[in-house]
């Protein structure tokens, strides 16, 4: 397997090349890179690949500031069954 075909986001199977190309083409922030490629938006919520996606955005995209930020996380931070969200099961 070539390095460019290497998977970065395991959940959504987004490759290294795909991330690089997107970051270069759109000069993305980390958030935009995620929305465009779906990297970090899968089942695990980006817990595994987030640092790498951030790094790609920082190196070739437009991500810069590291100081005093509010991290973008959204609930639920773990997948939830609809039943557990107040459906019939309760």
Partner 1 sequence: MNNVIIIGSGPAGLTAAITCAQKGLEVSVIDEYMKPGGRLLGQLYEQPDGSWWNGINESKKLFQQAVNLGVQFYLETPVFNIEKKDSLWVVYTDKETFQTTNLLLATGAAEAPVPIPGWTLPGVMSIGAAQIMTNVHRVKPGNRGLIIGINVLSSAIAMELKLAGVDIACLALPKNNQITHESAHPKKVLDSLLHVAHMAPSTFVKLGSKLMKNNFMKELGVTFYPRNGVKMWDIPIQLKKAVIEIYGEQEVEGVTIASISSKGEVIEGSEENIAVDFVCIAGGLYPLAELAALTGCPFHYIEELGGYVPLHNEQMMTPVEGLFVAGNITGIEGAKVAAAQGKIAGLSIAKRSGKHQLDEDLKDAVQQGADTRKNAYIQFHPEVDSGRRRIQEEWEEYLVNNTVQFF
Partner 2 sequence: MTLRVTDHPILGKLEKKKAVTFTFNDKQYTGYEDESLAAALLANEIRTLRHHEESGSSRGIYCNIGHCFECRVSINGKQGVRACLTPLKGNMIVESHGKLPTPVRDWRSSDE
Provide the binding-site residues for partner 1, judged by CB under 8 A.
Answer: 1-3, 5-8, 10, 16, 20, 45, 47-49, 51-52, 55-56, 59-60, 66-81, 84
Identify any residues that bridge with 15 across adjacent strands, giving them in sequence order. Answer: 7
Q: DSSP letter at 84? A: G
3-state secondary structure of 14: strand
**CA-to-CA distance for 81 and 17, rounded, in angstroms?**
34
From candidates 8, 11, 19, 23, binder to partner 2 by CB under 8 A: 11
Q: DSSP letter at 62? A: S
Q: Which entry of partner 1, partner 2, none binds 24, CB below 5 to 8 A by partner kind?
A: none
* Residue ranges in contact with partner 2 by CB under 8 A: 10-11, 13, 43-44, 47-48, 79, 81
């Amino acid at each position: 397997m070539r390095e460019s075909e290497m998977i970065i986001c395991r959940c959504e199977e987004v490759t290294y090349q795909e991330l690089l190309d997107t970051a270069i083409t759109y000069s993305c922030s980390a958030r935009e890179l995620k929305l465009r490629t779906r990297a970090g938006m899968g089942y695990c919520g980006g817990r595994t690949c987030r640092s790498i996606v951030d790094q790609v955005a920082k190196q070739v995209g437009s991500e810069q500031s590291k100081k005093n930020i509010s991290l973008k996380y959204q609930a639920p931070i773990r997948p939830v069954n609809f039943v557990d969200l107040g459906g019939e099961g309760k």
